[in-house]
Structure 1
Amino acid sequence: MESALTKHEKNLSALIHASTFSKFFFPFGNFIIPLVLWTANKNEYSFVDHNGKQALNFQISMLLYSIILGIVSVPFLIGFFPNIFDFGHFGFDGLNNFNNLNISFNSDNFRFGKWLFPLGVAGLVQGALFVVNIVYTILATIRTNEGQEFEYPITINFIK
């Protein structure tokens, strides 16, 4: 398929994938710019049509995964708020204990521990999604510029 593709098709497909990085400059740029480029050229070039669908499906899937992860982590965050106003650990009533040099970490006294772990896991998963998005978008840009068809992993096909 590489021989039948023109340089314009390859560049346009790579531009569609690379334009998803516009989300760092303005909101929803990762949807708007690829959508405009794809809809303007999808009828003329089948390679551009395929890559536009792939880029948009991947970005929509990443948004959906982030929303689901946020919804799952909300109960842990709400459960954390009642303990944030307990000033027993951060107030002035514990200052006289610093003279005794009794430094010990008891998990019963550290009330953030039971909520910090699930939020930390959610943060790590969100970071992993961010890295996957960056790495696979760069790979897609490079491969489509070389004329290869690229399929993103963990993508739900919303646009067929």
Structure 2
Amino acid sequence: MESNYYTLKREDNQLLVITHLAQLLTCLTGFGGLIVPLILWATQKDKVEEMDDHGKAIINFQLSLIVYAIICIPLILLFGLGILLLILLGIVSFVLPIINAIKASNKETPYYPLSLNFVS
């Protein structure tokens, strides 16, 4: 009897939505917006359809936000430009996960603009 070396992935749009919304933990608690989606992606990417693509997009977005926030720190000294950019980052970090959670529930591909490609 031959064994299959692949497993069928299940479709779980609810988990994809939860993974996107887990990013909001940073807005609520100050941390967790990277860790929780990272854990969900690492444990479910081989079990859930589209989790690999969604997880990579989320991780790249979260890491990009961290890099942009670090860049904003010295810009605070430049006419307060860094403060304005940090406020903008805060708004983007709240709105885009919600938009992409809605896209995930509609089986659409997530899109996070200005994300640097850390994980491919």
TM class, shorter-length: 0.7 to 0.9
In the TM superposition, what are the counterparts of 1:8-157 in structure 2 within 5 Å? Answer: 9-73=12-76, 76=77, 118-119=79-80, 121-157=81-117
CA distance in 2, matches of 1:136, 1:23: 13
Q: Give % identity.
A: 27
Query: TM-score, structure 2 length as denominator?
Result: 0.84
SS in 2 for 1:147: coil
- Residue deviations 1:105-128, cap 9 Å, x none? xxxxxxxxxx7xx11x32111111
1:135 CA displacement: 1.2
CA distance in 1, matches of 2:59, 2:88: 19
Looking at both structures, which has the greater relative contact order when contacts are Cα pairs under 8 Å and sequence separation is at least 6?
A: 1
Q: Any runs of at least 4 consecutive aligned residues in structure 1 with deviations exceeding 4 A, and if so which?
A: none
1:12 CA displacement: 1.0
SS in 2 for 1:30: coil
Query: TM-score, structure 1 length as denominator?
Result: 0.64
Which ranges in structure 1 are unaligned for 5 or more consecutive residues?
77-114
RMSD of the alignment, in Å?
Answer: 1.9
